[in-house]
A and B are shown apart, each in its own frame.
Chain A
Amino acid sequence: MTRKSLQDKISVYGAAPVSDPIQSHTLAVIVDNEPGVLARVVGLFTGRGYNIESLTVAETDHDKKLSRITILCSGTVHVIEQIHHQLERLVPVHYVSNLTLEGPHIERELALMKVVGKKEKRIEALQIAESFRAKSVDTTLDSFVFELTGSPEKIDAFIDLMRPLGLVEVSRTGIAAMARGRDGI
């Protein structure tokens, strides 16, 4: 008997359920900017076994002391619905919006990438950066730091191209997201 099936048979708990396909959703969470709020949100994910793929947080309204957390999380439809409700339950959370479900939205990320190289590689890196509209924000005789803003996919593509050209370091912000159209949160 395999370990799993043995466990299913004699555990005081039932067998684990068979899962639905995994999806990724982007949630915008408006929270009070108070001590411990990020720990509370992140702790909810670890405590209940949810996955975070990307998380961005910064204060967005200084007067009202509000921060916006953008979370890219993955799970079954059922799990994502749970994440939504569990987040709404937290006292410092004002509003949760599932941007993926609520219609078209924009996701943007900023990345800084350091590319070290000489001669042809250096020229090629610069040309590719130009076609991606990446800015060179620091230059030495044998290195560049590129700044690129765009969808996570675009940044992924750029990083893949830079890798053989001497990419030594990447720093990404995680995504910021917003629904299209005139309605605000």
Chain B
Amino acid sequence: MASSTSRAKPKMNLVQEVPSSPQEKQKDAENVFGKKTLTGAEIVIQALVDNGVDTIFGYPGGAVLPIYDALFQQKKIRHILVRHEQAALHAAEGYARSTGKVGCALVTSGPGATNAVTGLTDALLDSVPVVCITGQVPTFLIGTDAFQEADTTGITRHCTKQNYLVRDVHKLSSIIHEAFHVSKSGRPGPVVIDLPKDIQFAPGSYTPPVKTDLTRYQPRTMPDMSKIEAAVEMIANAKKPIFYTGGGVINAGAEAAKLLTEFVRMTGYPCTSTLMGLGAYPMTDSQHLGMLGMHGTFEANWAMHDCDVMINIGARFDDRVTGRLDAFSPDSRKIHIDIDASSINKIVRADIGIVADATEAIRAMIAVWKKKKYTPDKSALKSWWKEIDTWRSIKCLNYRQSGKIIKPQYALERLQAAINKDKRDCFITTEVGQHQMWAAQFLKFDKPCHWMTSGGLGTMGYGFPAAIGTQLAHPDALVVDVAGDASILMNIQEMSTAVQYHLPVKIFILNNQWMGMVKQWQELLHGERYSSSYTESLPDFVKLAEAYGGIGLRAETPDELDKVIVEMMKTDRVTIVDVCVDPKENCFPMIPSGKAHNEMILSPDAEKFDKTLV
């Protein structure tokens, strides 16, 4: 949100050269600005650099002008100008989730901060490490209802892991260092630093980051070995086991995903993942049953229901996963590994609860399994797989592609086929709704950190800015935002950002002219009364893309689809692909609310769907 002052400065945001005499260079090594004393704004930049930040997403305004001025005078940090503060946060999330680093955002006071709230909440619910610096009115004006004043720490207290209002410039650097430590340690999350304008101007002392083990926030990462041993024994003796893995494995880093794959293969047990956990175990592997939950696969949900030992690593028994709680996996003993102690026993009682980082816990389990020379019960496992294969043979994701109308599932399968042929590393982001669930069902992820979607908060408008953040972190990669026609409009203004920074993000819109998921619920549960779910007056997405300076493509029939996808893969600019899909198609299979995993509805049953039941 620009105040009048920032609007009145139509100067190009060029990077100014720092003087480079040998003497200057020596000082330059000490801090970014080559000065003895720094202002608060310069301290911010120095602290960000020292915490490994190379990209920051933001939008200027009156209360952050000193920081923008400092940004202008350095070249260590690249500032990406978004077009709405919510997008700054989502872009930082995309950056963070695709790199494993902390994402960073910079917004002004008042409306800048309140616009950031959705992104912060999204990062909180999906445990994404993000540090957001918000400008604030000068300390002497706080509490006076000053221009663009909002109680940012008050507003963001519930949607951040921790937040700070800086009142003393001398504490600024240590607060920023702690913010980064808190954001990425333990269960990651967003942290807000609210920085009054007078503190940004004030000269202060800078202290470099200290060793993180000296700071007050020290979450537990190492597992209790006696519990690990008990868990491994339970796993080894299981007759119908299942691994249920979540975003915690992704957050724990690439090593955790590697160890998980090793452990699952070692045991030969089936594995299913939550929406957030896709990619930790290769989805193309036969031991993976696909996603579980409300729109998960038939086999994954039935295996969860009928299992005798459930090994939950880094998932949190979300209500979209468990279905009816009192009928959730009734006959199983449950092992729950989570870095957040409050996740254990929050919703489902765990027989063995282990507070630990996923990497450490899985590594310890593998060690115990090897040391005790455990082997799985071969005959039990064989009959368990036989049961699973019967569920699999139902082929719950089947759909019928015939005639001139593109089925959304078909579009995604063709997209996957094109991705398979492409040599580039591919990252997928999504918006929220039917297209998101179809993407989770039909796209295959074999690596962690390549799938970014808003799971906990379900934020429409997440995918495009997240794709921008991802593309900036991986300039040579293929980044596709699978979108819906309604969701994409929630942050469509970021087309400007993508054009400005030459980001060849692909927006793959499954356009059914409806808020598909809302329509689906209205059809199934509210007597087909489609209250406000038809997205009337949709823009012409091809012309829209062109108006922004991007490329627009459209596929209306199945024949055009492959050609358009091939075209899309070649574009060097932001590209919108408007795929006109069947508006009648619903997302199945589905666990209706208040039902158990074994009461899933399959798509051919949709006709017979008993609407009075749900």
A residues sitting closer than 8 Å to B (CB atoms) are 8-15, 17, 32, 35-36, 39-40, 43, 47, 78, 81-82, 85-86, 88-92, 94
> Contact at A39–B216, with CB atoms within 8 Å?
no
> Contact at B323–A14, with CB atoms within 8 Å?
yes
A-B contact pairs, 6 of them (CB 8 A): A14-B324, A17-B326, A35-B165, A36-B165, A82-B346, A85-B341
Nearest A residue to B217 by beta-carbon distance?
A91
Could you say which residues of chain B place their CB within 8 Å of the CB of A94? 216
Known contacts A12-B593, A78-B345, A85-B341: does B614 contact A91 (CB below 8 Å)? no
A21 to B167, CA, bound (A): 46
Could you say which residues of chain A place their CB within 8 Å of the CB of B217? 91
Could you say which residues of chain B place their CB within 8 Å of the CB of A78? 345
Partner of A14, one of B216, B319, B526: B319
Binds A, one of B67-75, B156-164, B432-440, B471-479: B156-164
Could you say which residues of chain A place their CB within 8 Å of the CB of B154? 39
A78 to B348, CA, bound (A): 11
> Contact at B525–A10, with CB atoms within 8 Å?
yes
Q: Closest approach, in angstroms, between the C-beta of B114 and any C-beta of chain A?
A: 18
Nearest B residue to A94 by beta-carbon distance?
B216
Nearest A residue to B340 by beta-carbon distance?
A89
> Contact at A10–B157, with CB atoms within 8 Å?
no
Q: With an 8 A cutoff between CB atoms, is B594 at the interface?
A: yes
A130 to B289, CA, bound (A): 75
Could you say which residues of chain A place their CB within 8 Å of the CB of B167? 35
> Contact at B319–A13, with CB atoms within 8 Å?
yes
Count of A-B contacts judged by CB separation below 8 Å: 58
Partner of B521, one of A8, A12, A40, A82: A12
Known contacts A12-B593, A14-B319, A14-B593: does B325 contact A89 (CB below 8 Å)? no
A78 to B347, CA, bound (A): 9
> Contact at B216–A32, with CB atoms within 8 Å?
yes
> Contact at A36–B323, with CB atoms within 8 Å?
no
Could you say which residues of chain A place their CB within 8 Å of the CB of B162? 90-91
Partner of A40, one of B157, B345, B614: B157
Q: Closest approach, in angstroms, between the C-beta of A19 and any C-beta of chain B?
A: 13
Q: With an 8 A cutoff between CB atoms, is B153 at the interface?
A: yes
Nearest A residue to B219 by beta-carbon distance?
A89
Q: Closest approach, in angstroms, between the C-beta of B5 and any C-beta of chain A?
A: 29
Could you say which residues of chain B place their CB within 8 Å of the CB of A10? 525-526, 614
> Contact at A81–B345, with CB atoms within 8 Å?
yes
Q: Closest approach, in angstroms, between the C-beta of A182 and any C-beta of chain B?
A: 27
A86 to B340, CA, bound (A): 9
> Contact at B594–A9, with CB atoms within 8 Å?
yes
> Contact at B342–A39, with CB atoms within 8 Å?
no
> Contact at A8–B594, with CB atoms within 8 Å?
yes
Q: With an 8 A cutoff between CB atoms, is B507 at the interface?
A: no
What per-residue 1/0 map shows which CB atoms of B217-246 lie under 8 Å from chain A? 100000000000000000000000000000
Q: With an 8 A cutoff between CB atoms, is B182 at the interface?
A: yes
Q: Closest approach, in angstroms, between the C-beta of B322 and any C-beta of chain A?
A: 8
Could you say which residues of chain A place their CB within 8 Å of the CB of B526? 10
What per-residue 1/0 map shows which CB atoms of B200-229 lie under 8 Å from chain A? 000000000000000011000000000000
Nearest A residue to B163 by beta-carbon distance?
A36
Could you say which residues of chain A place their CB within 8 Å of the CB of B341? 85, 88-89
Could you say which residues of chain A place their CB within 8 Å of the CB of B158? 43, 47
